[in-house]
Amino acid sequence: MTVEHVEWSGDDVVRHLRASPVFSRLADDALAAVAQCATVRMVTAGDAVMIEGEPGDEAFVIIAGRLDVLTRTSNGGQKTVNTVGPGDVVGEMALMTEEPRSASVRARRDSALMCIGADDFRTIMVDHPSVLLDMTRTVMGRLNQSIHDMQPEGTRTVIAVLPAGERPAHYEFASGFATALQQQDAGSQVSVEAVSAERARRDLGDDATTAAIAEYLHHVEDRNDVVVLIGETGNAEWTELCRRQSDVGLLVGYADSLREYGDYEQDLETAGGDSVQLVLVHDATQPTATAEVLSLRPCGRYHHIRRGSSDDIARVARIVRGSSVGVVFGGGGARGFAHLGAVRAFQEAGIPIDHVGGTSIGASVASTVAMGLDLDGMIELLRWVTFDRGSIVDSTLPTVSIAKGRRLSTAMHEGYGDIDIRDLWMEFFCVSADLTEGDVHVHRRGPVWEAVRASVAIPGIFPPMRSSDGHVLVDGGVLDNVPTSVMRSVFAPARMIAIDLKAPSALPSADIPDSGFVSGWKVARHRAAPWRDGMEIPGIIETLIAASTISGAAKDIDADLVIRPSVAEYGFLDFASWEQIMETGYQHTVEALEASTLPV
């Protein structure tokens, strides 16, 4: 553990002890005794404070900053089981039980820790039983959390806005970002305070120590809901300190300047995962080359915004603060036009959409939302890839499938062009069924048209698609027709809305023979004779479509609001009724939103 020993007055130590729930009930003389045996240290973000399995010789009271508590996983990795902040105590269990450390602790931010040695700790326990009682409550709370496999990431209250690329855009972004954060909660004002290098110098002077800055930022955080730390171009030391003091750092730059590092960015120590995210600011109408930009930076997440767009900045604010809204669109053939009616209802109700995902036609709808199209553009593109070119089932000799798939693939390639998923304005995924592995395949990169084409490849009707590793991919509805679990694991929205188009398949059955034998020639002759009534027997396409969605539709839908439009009267291929289907989706969503208690 890299530490900096800090000189702290006895009064300061007592003040921090009194703020800790574990020591708050001690009398003044007892607090003074504890303070006398404690030392204060600074640890740097990323440093290990404790290591699981090692003997414990100290307990730590957090004065300022945040620490992550981690345990080993079965595959040898680590998972975060808790995030603790000022007033919390860590390391006490090993001292109480005289057993090795049961977890590792790592500094999430630069942190000030009050350290109490094992002998002094045990003396405190004996002399002041109330401390032992409060300590036991703390331990039991963590144990209960572990039993229920809770993995809190901690509230993101300190966010660093950092320069990126040769043309950083963080100053302009920080102003709009702070405004967006203030408007996060409907009906209440969120207090947000921004701290720049200039302000810190004004408040602390030019020679402030790391410990003094940590204490200063702790006080700023204590009086606000959110603190925005603003990096300074050309000042790598301050910029890196902002990142270390934050729960999440946002690297912000103009997209066309991010293919190279800026001078100040060269020295910025970035970390993987979601602790550092990238914001690409665009003047152009469509993001491009995002994959190349991401290859330079180990960022867990990235966000595209249009220059000057308050709506886009607000989306980033919701995602970073953990208040975002995700929408999942289910599969259902022509019934998928109901999704567009739902989107219209969301727009009219002022419900933001921050991440989208879907299966089959739901994947296609989700992609149009992520592209940033208006409702007319979404309708136009969805019509183009479904029925504007005539039937998408271009028959061929059924050795692989009934349809060649050329008409469908061509329509999708022409409709989407070569847009990569990473170049969509909004976070997007879609799913297909991996027949090679027997599992859900999640599409997060590569051409949009290929991902959607795989997601709609109904087995037996359209040819399967091949993944980059040679796996066979078909319609995602085979395994998960409304992939809410994927949305939760990939984007973790605070609120999730799912639109389920599952409805009974009105398949005719009166003329299905009891023998189980059916002559295709006989059925064809019967259907070709105009003077005869149609046979009440399902066709191969209807049967394959219905069969392909049964398994995926059987899953429980884990969402805050599940909307189920009444679309049973429309067939999977009833594209001629798209306007009525869309209106049905709109009306049903309006009613569902009015009846819902979903906070938005």
Q: Known catalytic residues?
A: 360, 475
Q: Which residue type is seen at 38?
A: A
Q: Using the CB atoms, write b or e for 531-561: b if 16+ within 10 Å.
A: eeeebebbeebbebbeebbeebbeeebebbb
User: Using CA atoms, how far apart are residues 338 and 502, in angstroms rounded to an integer?
Assistant: 12
What separation, in Å, do the N-terminal and C-terminal C-alpha atoms of the chain show? 43
**In 39-185, alpha helices (H):** 92-97, 118-127, 129-147, 170-182
User: Using CA atoms, how far apart are residues 502 and 533, in angstroms rounded to an integer?
Assistant: 29
SS3 content of the chain, % helix, strand, coil (to 5): 40, 20, 40
Nearest to 185 by CA among 354, 358, 318: 318
**In 399-539, alpha helices (H):** 406-416, 448-455, 484-491, 520-528
Q: Which residue type is seen at 140?
A: M
User: Using CA atoms, how far apart are residues 361 and 589, in angstroms rounded to an integer?
Assistant: 18
User: Using CA atoms, how far apart are residues 360 and 452, in angstroms rounded to an integer?
Assistant: 7
User: Using CA atoms, how far apart are residues 294 and 508, in angstroms rounded to an integer?
Assistant: 52
Q: Are 303 and 315 in contact (CB under 8 A)?
A: yes
Give CA separation, 362 vs 145, 329, 563, in Å. Answer: 36, 4, 14
Burial of 260 (0-12, 13-18, 19+ CB in 10 A): exposed
Give strand ranges (E) for 354-426: 355-359
DSSP state of 533: P
In this structure, the dihedral spanned by the alpha carbons of residues 229, 234, 238 and 244, taken in order and rounded to 10 degrees, is 70
Mapped onto helix, strand or coil, the DSSP state of residue 189 is coil
**In 148-227, alpha helices (H):** 170-182, 197-204, 210-222
Mapped onto helix, strand or coil, the DSSP state of residue 317 is helix
Beta strand 248-254 with 158-163: parallel, antiparallel or unpaired? parallel
Give CA separation, 255 vs 168, 271, 294, in Å. Answer: 9, 20, 11
The H or E element containing residue 42 is strand 39-43
Helix axes 337-349, 361-370, angle to 10 degrees: 40
User: Using CA atoms, how far apart are residues 90 and 152, in angstroms rounded to an integer?
Assistant: 16
Lookup: tokens for 382: 């969805």
User: Using CA atoms, how far apart are residues 234 and 169, in angstroms rounded to an integer?
Assistant: 14
CA angle 162, 152, 500 (to 5 degrees): 95
